[in-house]
A and B are shown apart, each in its own frame.
Chain A
Amino acid sequence: MKISTIKELLQAEVVCCEEGLQHHVYSACGSDMMSDVLAYVKDQAVLLTGLVNPQVIRTAEMMDMVCVVFVRSKKPSEEMIKLAEASGMTLLTTDKRMYDACGILYANGLIGKKVRHV
């Protein structure tokens, strides 16, 4: 799924790194607990979260993720945007809640754990 499709499905706004919308991603995860993301996530390219602090961007960076979607209309701070821009990470924000946002993406083919080969 293209990140631009994620943006459309979640009626999200692009916060930064719009050029990343052309990237294809094959899996995603949703969590507000960064320790769990660091422990259990593997090869997921997109993080959906309601947590807003710079460690969200650093965690995503450590996991080689290319996009973070902030749910519940959360807005990243200037510092977070700068960190994301420095590593070319696309940030989106949607007014959908975590459960709905994950469900919409999953139902449209963006799966969780395994990488889907297309």
Chain B
Amino acid sequence: MSEKLNFHFDVDGTDFTSAGQASVQVKKNLRRLGIAPETIRRVSIAMYEGEINMVIHAGGGEADVNVSEDEIEIILTDHGPGIADVEQAMQEGFSTATDSIRSLGFGAGMGLPNMKRYTDDMKIETVVGSGTTITMRISLM
């Protein structure tokens, strides 16, 4: 595979029940490409957490998954409120999610830490008031 493959998704921010659809599709696509199951699981969990975050906090956004010979790159972009204190947001257990989100099984403050845990590299670019872009990489080497 010498060319980069790209999967692009629009993440609907209005419907919590549909959150995760893009991750399910990515999982299927990666399976077809013959990527190792453990790698697929890491990619799909990181992306799923990111998708949930986009729906909970940012009113949706866009997701791009680029597959090249040596890595899988996940880029999540939203135009939400941004993250005021990234260091704080990265702490396990810190969350700004509402009780209604918690009652759905999320908002435990594990999303961003999980995304970091399951990927080899994660970069957060955020501007308060205009949005956040998260780039995650998982090595295939």
Interface string of A44-59 (1 = CB under 8 A from B): 0000000101111011
Q: Which residue of B lies closest to A41 (CB)?
A: B45
Q: Give the CA-CA distance A34 to B20 in the complex, in Å.
A: 13
Taking the nearest CB of chain A, how far is it from the CB of B102, in angstroms?
8
* Contact among B44, B110, B113 with A62 in the assembled complex (CB-CB below 8 Å): B44
Interface majority SS (helix, strand, loop, mixed), chain B: helix
Give how many A-B residue pairs fall within 8 Å (CB-CB).
Answer: 66
B108: CB under 8 A from chain A? yes
B8 proximity list for chain A (CB < 8 A): none
Taking the nearest CB of chain B, how far is it from the CB of A30, in angstroms?
13
- In the A-B complex, list the 8 residue pairs whose CB atoms are closest, starting with the nearest: A34-B105, A35-B108, A58-B20, A35-B110, A39-B110, A54-B17, A51-B105, A62-B44
* Chain B residues close to A by CB (< 8 Å): 16-20, 23-24, 27, 37, 41, 44-45, 48-49, 52, 104-111, 113-114, 117
